[in-house]
Amino acid sequence: MMLKPTLKRYLAIGISVYIFEVITIVVADWLGAKPILAISLSFWLGLIVSFGLQKIITFGDKRMHRRVVLPQLLAFSGLVLFNFSFTLLMTKLFIHLLPTFLIRTLALGITTIWNFYLYKTHIFKGSDNLVY
């Protein structure tokens, strides 16, 4: 099955950020962080990297004017808060059943699906690759 270039880039960046997040969790665990803190650190650091790469590379949205970026940031922030809450809920529900990195992996897999849809249809919709 052939994937569209946008989906390929989305998945490649997502996998790279996932690896970065897992490394963050492992290091945080090694340093003695509790699971909620380890997942929180990986979530927020991965989020910062992911947003920039997805906006510019995956969806080719190089528009940087505040009239474009501010609404994107507001929509993205709402999605982030929802995703973060969902991730913490997954952690609380499954912490006694699954390893921390696996909980994050499951939450990430689920959020990846709705994030791609929302990025493509709402947050970065209408990108014309112009810088203004």
The length of the chain is 132
Q: Structural domain tally of the chain? A: 1
Q: Using alpha carbons, select from 124, 113, 109 the residue that is nearest to residue 52.
A: 124
Residue 55 CA to chain centroid, in angstroms?
11
Q: Is the pTM of this model over 0.85?
A: no
Greater pLDDT, 132 or 38: 38
Host domain of residue 81: 5-123
Q: Domain for residue 36, yes or no? A: yes
> How many Cβ atoms from other residues are within 10 Å of residue 51's Cβ?
19
**What is the number of alpha carbons within 13 Å of residue 34 lying toward its C-beta?**
6
Q: Domain for residue 87, yes or no? A: yes
Return the structure tokens found at 32.
């003695």
Q: Domain for residue 17, yes or no? A: yes
Q: Domain for residue 128, yes or no? A: no
Return the structure tokens found at 27.
């290091």
Q: Domain for residue 93, yes or no? A: yes
pLDDT in tens, 20-45: 999 999 999 999 999 999 989 998 89
Q: Domain for residue 129, yes or no? A: no
pLDDT in tens, 44-96: 898 888 888 988 999 988 888 889 888 988 898 899 899 999 999 999 999 99
Mean pLDDT for the chain overall: 89
Angle 42-13-127 from CA coordinates, rounded to 5°: 115
Q: Domain for residue 116, yes or no? A: yes
